[in-house]
Each structure stands twice: as C-alpha cells, then as structure tokens.
A and B are shown apart, each in its own frame.
Chain A
Amino acid sequence: MFGKLDLSAIPLSQPIPLITSAIVVVIGLAVAVLITTKKLWPYLWHEWITSVDHKRIGIMYCLLGILMLIRGFADAIMMRTQQAVAINAEGYLPPEHYNQIFTAHGTIMILFGAMPLVLGFMNFLVPLQLGVRDVAFPTFNSVGFWLTASGALLVNVSLLVGEFARTGWLPYPPLSETTYSPGVGVDYYLWAVQISGIGTLITGINIVTTILKMRCPGMSYLRMPVFCWTALASCLLIVAAFPILTATLAMLTLDRYVGWHYFTSMSGGNPMMFVNLIWAWGHPEVYILILPAFGIFSEIFSTFSGKPLFGYRSMVAATLFICVVSMLVWLHHFFTMGAGAAVNTFFGISSSIIAVGTGVKIYNWIFTMYGGRVRLEVPMLWSLGFIFTFILGGLTGVLLAIPPADFVTHNSMFLVAHFHNVIIGGVVFGIFAGVEFWFPKAFGFRLHAGWGKAAFWLALFGFWVTFTPLYILGLDGMTRRLQHINFEHWTPWLYVSVVGIAILIAGVVAQVLQLIVSIRNRDALRDVTGDPWDGRSLEWATASPPPFFNFAVTPNVEGEEAYWGIKLRAIETQQLSPEPHYEAIEMPINSPVGFYTAFFATVFGFAMIWYIWWLAALSLLAAFIGFVVFAWRDVHEFEVPEEEVERAERKRRAAREEFLNRLAHEGGTA
C-alpha cells in the first residue's frame, strides 16, 4: 500500500534532523494559525498563490530563494563546525548524516537558493525594463515557479521522512547507483531536481520569448538595459542546458528504478558519460547564475555613478561571448580523469578565455565610475565588494583551468574556496546589491541604509575570514568532503574558518534586522516618486510598487536609457510630458493551475521516491486533468477600465510634478 514507506522512515534516533523538522513544523503551523485568525487565506489565494502577475511571481521566487539560502547556510554552519571539532575525533555528525548535509548544502544553495533568486529578479525586472505589462506566457510562468517550489519542498521533506542523498551535489555513479546507495536519498535528489528543473526550463522559455517578442515600441535590441541582455543570455543557456539535465537525471532514474545500465560500470554502461553530461549542464548553470548578477551590477554602477554604462556594446558582446563559450568548457571539472594532453589543452584554454569576457566587463564598470558622481550607497558597496572579491576568485579560477595546476588542486579545499569565492562574491553579492536596489520598487519603501552597510561589511569580512583558510588548506593537500580530519596541523586554519562563519552569521542577523527596522520605519523610508535612486531605465518610470498593469500607457522609447531621456526632457522643459489619453487595458486573469500542477507533481515525486505506484499514477493523472481543464478555458483576460488606469497614473504624476518643482527651486540636475 505505501511502498517502502513506514514509520521507521522517520529518523527517531537522530536528534538533529528530528528537532529541526519539529521546529519547522511548529513554525509552519503557527504561520497557518496566524493566517487563519487574521482571515488572510482569501487574500493569499487571490493575490499571491493564483497570481499570474510577473512581479508577484518574481517576489515569491525571491522569498523561496531567501528561505532556502538560510537552510543552506545552516548546513554550512554545521559543516564548518563539524570539521573544527572532528580533528582526530568523530565530531558530532556521523558520516551518514554529514554526507547528507554537504549534498543538501550544494543542491539547495545552487538549485533552490541562487536559482530562484536569479529567476525572481528576471521575472520581476524584465517586463518592467522592456516597458511591457507581463511576460509572454503569464500562467505558464506561475507553473514554472510552483514546480520549483515543489522541488524545494521535496528536498526539505527528506529531512523528516527518510534521508537525502549522500553522494555530493552531483551524484556521480557508481556511488549513486543502487549497489552503493540503496536508500531513498538519491531518489529524493532525482525527483526534486527533476521537477524543479522543468520549472526552470519553463521560466527560461518564458523570458527568452518575452525579450525576443514583447519589447515596447522603440525598444530595439541595442536600447535594452544590460540586465535584459544578461537575462536573455542566461535564459538561452537555460533553454540549451536544462534539457541535458533532465535527460541525464532520467537516465540515472532508469538505472536505479528498472535496472538499466546507462551509467553502471558494467554491462556496457559508463559512469564517465554521466560526469560529462552532468557538467555539460553544470558548467553553463554557473553562468546562468552569474550573468544576471553581472546585469544587476551594470545597472547599479551606471545609476550610482550618474552616467550611462561605459562601452554598452562591449558589454553586450562580452555577455554573448560568455554565453557561447560557457557551453564549451565543461571538461575542466575533470582534467584529472586522464583525457590526454590535447583535450586538456583545449578545455584549459577555452576555460581561461571566459576570463576575457569577464575582464572586459570589470574594466567597463571601472570606466563607468570614471568621471561620474559616485554615490556610495549600499548597492554600490556590494558592487565594489564584488569587484574586489570576484577578481581574486577569477584569478584562482584561471589557476584551476590550467591542467597541470589543477592536477594538484582538483577536489581540494582550494577548489571549494574558489567556487565560493565566485558564487558568493559574484552571485550572492549581486543578489544582495539587487535587493537593496530594487526593494523600494517592489514594496514602495527603501531599506534602512545603516543596517545594510553593517550587513555588507560583515559579509565581506566574514567571507574572507571563512574562505582564505580553505585556500591554504587546499594548498596543503586537504581534500573536500572530509567528515573528520586526521591531520592535527590543519587545526588553526579550521578554527579561523569557524570565526569567519561566526562573522557571516552576524551578517545574516544584520540583514534580517535591516528588514525588520525598515518595515517598522516604512513611512519615513517611503518612495513616493517611484524613482528613489535617480534611475535610468523604465522600471523607475512607474509607481513603487508598480500597478499590476505596470504602465498606464505603454512607453515609447526614443533612445538608450529610456527613462533618463524622459527625465532630461522634463527638466529641460520644466514640465512633465503632456498627459496622455488613457485607455482600458486587457490583463490576464489569475489561474490556480500552477499551484494545482505543482501540488500533484509533489505528490507524484513523493510517491515515486517511496515506490507507491498507485499514488504516482493517480497524481500524474490528476496533474494531466489540470492541464486539460486549463486548455478548455474560454476567458483568458479581463479589462481594466480606463478610470482605474487614470487614477493610478494621476497619483504618480502628482508626486513627480511636486518633485520637479522642488528641483526647479533647488536647481539640481535630476
């Protein structure tokens, strides 16, 4: 009836996952009770869960990502402390638990932390920056988000029911085959990543289509903000690389479930094929994350320097260059498998060549500041911290791309330090910079600058104190994923790394406090004009938060930096552009199909993990029926009456008008 599932699946003998799950369940129940007593369920259902508004979906993506970053960070704290106490000792985490933690840490941080945040930014910003009202397929967008959430849920369920994979975040066979991993851990991994991967592919298709087909009049390709270019490059990579992931995981699933031999080491299977395929997805994946972060930094450098981005066309070229070359470098993850000198040379050079694109970008950001009026606000601090951290991470990356140097650093703590250096220094710093920058746009008030600065400095110092020791340990031959350590002379460095983690914890606390303080002082921090940073692209041309239809009148773009042009004209003529003629707007109606599909996808995944075949068949059928019912739908859109559009826009214009008058009195620039 319940397949492999019975009560012994709950790890009663392991206090850490048990207590953690209990806390999560209690918090979840408390939130549910709170929502019920405040009668917020209808609001949540109509305004968020069934919403097809790209901004709402973007915000939900970011919330999911931040929750998962915290979960992954908890794993990181356990890993660093375990290694510091398990020197010639067993520590507090036995191997069967520790190995799940580093696997979950990698999987969660990349696929359920960084990915949702990056996709959330693209979802929120791309339509606003392109001057359109939604993405190309709004309901599909909701399906994509909820499938990602479904995968995240499955990973977290594994904490309480059964176990997670113990193989590392990329489950190399033969270790991940049933012979060596008979438990459900790898199955949790496979179904969670498979379901969320499909969600990511859907969002990727959506954003590519939006950028290629839905720009507002006058928004030619070379007038798009650079963030849109990086989003396009990133989503093209999603469309190219995620099907590889889906196919690879499907093959491993067939190996595990029906005893096929794609990746076994016998009967014609070859585990190296898995390694090649998974990195053919895995390496582009890194650029899927970092390219939008580059886009975020480009917007911030330009806005806070009060200048257009230096070398816009170079930036676009460098982005597309990285997009293409990133598909040609996957073998550098396993130079040490003995591919031979010629192959290693090719992939070594192609990997270092990516540094050309990145190098050009860094110089262009520097020259964007040159001759500017650089305001050192919080987003700009993160961006400068990024330049410093990322350049050094890039340096160690190029070292690892040199095969003979990789031969002594592969899989070492040097490697661990390197990829955290680029992912934290690049992607995470980018995300925090972006949150500080666009938070007022999303919620209508700015974040408290003091706590933001504290969080930045703690994160920067915490990062270097945590990871510098790992570079050194790597150079001393320490490999990654050690549950305990047999060499006492590594102790000081492991302790220093724990101090770093403590600083990072303080940084996370500062970040949370910033949010709380800002919410409490939201009236003082209110952004009334919709343009708190003196921005240059179209998202600042509408109110904060934007009305659900984004723009009262579709903008007409007449040059690069669309909103900057509009503002300059307003300042020259000392008045806003003449009031347009408002028209009724057609907007897509909400749909529960995304939530519904993801609900049954979760049940399906869970049933497959535990071999509950009847439930798997039923939930698959239920999900399919959901599609059919949706396809039968006659009404797709509703009309926003012109009075409502007019009301929303008049309010924004009044605030802008007042701002312009004040400016005229004070005689500023913009």
Chain B
Amino acid sequence: MIWRAARKCQARLLAPNILLLLSLGAPLSSCSLAILDPLGPVGRGNAQILIDATIIMLAIVIPTIALAFWTAWRYRASNKKADYLPYWSYSGRIEAVVWSIPILTIMFLSGLIWIGSHELDPFRPLPSKAPTLEVQVVSLDWKWLFIYPEEKVASVNQLVIPAGRPVHFSITSASVFNVFFVPRLGSMIYAMPGMTSQLYLQADRPTQIWGTSAQFSGDGFSDMQFNVHSLTEDEFAKWIDHAKLAGPVLDQSSYSDLLHQSQRMTPTVYGKADPHLFHLIANQTVASGAGPQPEAPDHAGRETSTGGKH
C-alpha cells in the first residue's frame, strides 16, 4: 500500500542545499527532501532553478537584513555617539543605488525565468534516443486512471514506467480539477475536465516512489496518492505481458464503475483497455463523474460525505 511505500530516507545531501540550511533543519538533514532530490532530468531542472534563484537572492537579502538591524542598533536613541541628522531625507546617489539593486537582481532573475520557462515547458518533449512512452492520465473522484494506449492496458492508482525512457503524459479529468504531481520526477500540471494537458517526465533509474494530486478536489482528496514504479526495460515489458494476461477489461461500462466517488482504491490492472476511451473522456462524449450520491442530502442544505464510506 502506498502509505507504507513511502520513500525511504536516503543519506544524500545535495551539495548546495541552501534551502535546508535556511530551514534551520536538523532532524531531516541526514535525508533530503523530495523535490530537492530529483530522480529525473525534469526534476533536476526544477530543483536547480530553485536553488540558483535562492542563492542569487540570498546574496542581496542577507546583507540587507544585516544592514537593517545594524542601522536600527547603531542609531538607537540611547547611543549618543551616533550622529543625528534630523533633516537628512534625500540623496540622489543612494536613491540610484536603491533602485538599481532590485532592478539588477530582477533582470538577472528574468533571464533565469525566460530560459527556464522555455527549457522546462511541460509540453516540450525530452531529448532522448529511447522512444517515448505514451501514458494517458484521467483523474477521477478520488483515484487516478492510467491508460497505455499503445500497449492497450490500463491501471488505477498505480503508474508503471520504464526507467531511462521519456514518458509523455496526456492528462484530463473526469470530474473536478486535480493536479498530476510526482514530486521526485518534477513538474506538475493540472488535470481539467474537457481539456487535455501534456507533460513529459523521465525517471533515471528503477525505483518506487509516489505521486499525488496537488489540487484540492473534495472530501476524498487526502487519499489521491498513487504508486509510481519505474522498472528496467525488461521488467517493464514483463509487467505489460502480465497485465495483458491477468486483468479485467476496461471499456465504457467498466469505466462507468470508476466514476463513482471512492477512496483508497487498491491499485488495479486492466488487461485490455479501449485505446479510444481517453479521447471520449477528454471530449466528454462519455459521462463525467456524477458527484456525491445520493444527490438529495439527508440534512437540509448539508452535503453528506460519500468519500470512503461506500
């Protein structure tokens, strides 16, 4: 189960882990934080920019804070040694410097933003010699459906990907907004009904991690996590073969069962999946999640929670 498969602490410290130093963090300093310990090129890009930008800003921020406290202390009323300049309120030179420091910092950061936004655009394919795997993602109340259109298999709450190969995710929602997020792989993106968003991610090595929804989606939101297994190429092929033999069929009728609100659904594999299903969901040709059922609340004006209880 996913909450037991929580990532084990790894005794690896990112070299310039300024954010950690900042956070006065002793207890966790022996293991690193998920998004600062990325497992793939996208996450590495995100973490690098986060750290670079922090260092650039700290170079300005630390002296500024020091200056503020030094000034307040030096010119405290009880310090008679300090000069009192009761009319001094303008200096063109200081003004010029005062405007220049933030402007230069922001110009520098703007370069970072410009380059970073383009290089790490979630829609941008990852350069790789290995072929890209297609995975279609549907967020449901309150679980995730992953369809492998080329392999014609599917799974719920369990994402299996080959290590070292880019994965192209097409993401939509069959009910409300969610955000598809695997912290250790990097960038997240919204799952929205009637729309398809795209995201390229890659895991460098075989491992077990977790993903989640990063957008509140109702009563069952807290259990929107899913397992992520990255496997070697051989293991992945084996997993596909197993899935094809083992699981039930995902078509429109078994899909409609998934539309009911439910929580903590055990990871399930479908051996045969309709490759057109995703487009039908994204175009809303098939019905969307119906929300809380029964529709009529048993208290006036108050919704009853169905999450996890049915």
Chain A residues engaging chain B, CB cutoff 8 angstroms: 4-9, 11, 88, 94-96, 99, 161-163, 166-168, 172, 174-175, 179-185, 265-266, 270-272, 305-312, 314, 334, 336-338, 340-342, 344-345, 348-349, 352-353, 355-356, 358-360, 362-376, 380, 384, 387-388, 391-392, 395, 398-399, 401-405, 407-412, 468, 471-472, 475-477, 479-489, 492-493, 609-610, 669
Of B99, B103, B198, which is within 8 A of A314 by CB? B99
| Smallest CB gap from B46: residue in A | A408
> Within the complex, what minimum Cβ distance (angstroms) separates B212 from chain A?
6
Whether the pair A5, B301 counts as a contact (CB closer than 8 A) is: yes
Query: From B298, which residue of chain A is reached at the shortest CB distance?
Result: A8
Q: Within 8 Å CB of A391, what residues of B? A: 61, 64-65
- Whether A480 pairs with B300 at a CB distance below 8 angstroms is no
Check A373 against B84 for contact (C-beta < 8 Å).
yes
- For B218, what are the chain A residues with a Cβ–Cβ distance below 8 Å? 99, 166, 175, 180
> Does any Cβ of A come within 8 Å of B132's Cβ?
no
Contact assessment for B65 and A481 in the assembled complex, using a CB-CB cutoff below 8 Å: no
User: Which of B174-182, B231-239, B243-251 faces chain A?
Assistant: B174-182
Instruction: Tell me the number of A-to-B contacts counted with CB atoms below 8 Å.
Output: 361
- Asked whether A338 lies within 8 Å of B23 as measured between CB atoms, the reply is no
Assuming the contacts A94-B305, A162-B300, asked whether A265 and B295 have C-beta atoms less than 8 A apart, the reply is no
CB distance from A480 to the nearest CB of B (A): 7
Complex-state Cα separation, A371 to B25, whole angstroms: 38
Instruction: Let me know if A172 and B34 touch, CB within 8 A.
Output: no
A338 x B53 contact (CB < 8 A): no
Q: Is the CB of B292 within 8 A of A180?
A: yes
Best-surrounded residue of B113, B177, B193 (most CB of chain A within 10 A): B113
Q: Which residues of B contact A184 (CB under 8 A)?
A: 301-302
**Which single member of B35, B64, B177 contacts A172 (CB below 8 Å)?**
B177
A387 surroundings in chain B (CB, below 8 A)? 65, 68
Please state if A407 and B188 are interface contacts (CB–CB under 8 Å).
yes
Q: Is B15 an interface residue (CB 8 A)?
A: no
Q: How far is the CA of A345 from the CA of B289 in the complex (A)?
A: 35
Instruction: Give residues 41-75 of B contacting A (CB, 8 Å).
Output: 43, 45-47, 49-50, 53-54, 57-58, 61, 64-65, 67-69, 71-72, 75
Q: Which residues of B contact A174 (CB under 8 A)?
A: 175-177, 193
| Complex Cα–Cα for A324 and B9 (A) | 46
Type the 1/0 row for B78-99, where 1 means its CB is closer than 8 Å to any CB of A.
0000111111111100110011
A9-B300, A352-B113, A479-B181 known; A166+B219 contact, CB < 8 A: yes
With A271-B193, A336-B179, A411-B179 as contacts: A476 and B33 at CB distance below 8 Å: yes
Pairs A–B under 8 Å by Cβ, sample size 10: A5-B300, A11-B302, A175-B217, A314-B99, A352-B106, A356-B102, A369-B68, A384-B68, A398-B109, A408-B187
Instruction: Out of A309, A336, A367, A476, name the residue touching B35 (CB < 8 Å).
Output: A476
* 12 extra interface residue pairs, beta carbon distance < 8 Å, beyond A8-B298, A308-B87: A9-B300, A174-B175, A180-B292, A270-B194, A271-B192, A271-B193, A345-B113, A352-B106, A408-B188, A476-B35, A477-B34, A610-B301
